[in-house]
Amino acid sequence: MTMNMLFAGFGGQGILFAGKVAAYTGLLDEKQVTWLPSYGPEMRGGTANCSVCLSEETIGSPLVVNPNLLLAMNGPSYHRFIQTVQMDGITVFDSSLITDAVYQKGIHQYGIPATKMADDNQLKGLANMICLGYVLQLTGFTSKESLENAIEHTVPPKKAHLLEKNKQAFLLGYNYQGKELSK
């Protein structure tokens, strides 16, 4: 099975890092992996997205045009990419920041108040990991252990003090009990 994931939001929300963690799980699981970042001229505050492909087979292109998973962390990204999600695909969005999500026939959509959860749990800036935990719960794209190991391998040494907070944020999302957006 191939997972074509698109992570999108503003620069500074940790979009590229969340994608990197997801991609690293593929390495740990001995899958074929691509990670392709894309961001606007401003690293913080501009647009940012990344394509992540995980597959048992050779990956033809690192660019995800029609994802079977979209993680949108802001309104502009949600509205830009929601129409590209494959039929029967999944969209996870930060409902703290995206309040105008609309039902899309044939797409499973789930909101999670990730930014609010991060703020309420003294995890400011880690809404990305909360969303990634929820993505894992919904898709099972890897194991919980692989994702925790990927966090350990991708948090840079200069940010080692944030390792446990990243894991805590991931678990908050993983254990979140949400429901699918409906008509």
Q: Structural domain boundaries of the chain?
A: 3-174
Residue 79 confidence (pLDDT) above 90: yes
Average pLDDT over residues 166-171: 98
Which residues, in sequence order, are CB contacts of 81 under 8 Å at separation 6+? 6, 8, 49, 67, 70, 72
Average pLDDT over residues 4-12: 94
pLDDT value, residue 43: 55
pLDDT in tens, 49-61: 999 999 999 999 9
pLDDT value, residue 183: 65
Cα–Cα nearest to 81, from 146, 71, 102: 71
pLDDT value, residue 169: 98
pLDDT in tens, 134-152: 999 999 999 999 999 999 9
Pairing of strands 3-10, 69-72: parallel
pLDDT in tens, 19-60: 999 999 999 999 999 999 997 765 566 789 999 999 999 999
The CATH class, in words, for 3-174 is alpha beta
pLDDT value, residue 42: 55
Name the β-bridge partners of 161.
none
Backbone angles phi, psi at 98, to 5 degrees: -115, 100
| pTM score of the predicted model | 0.94
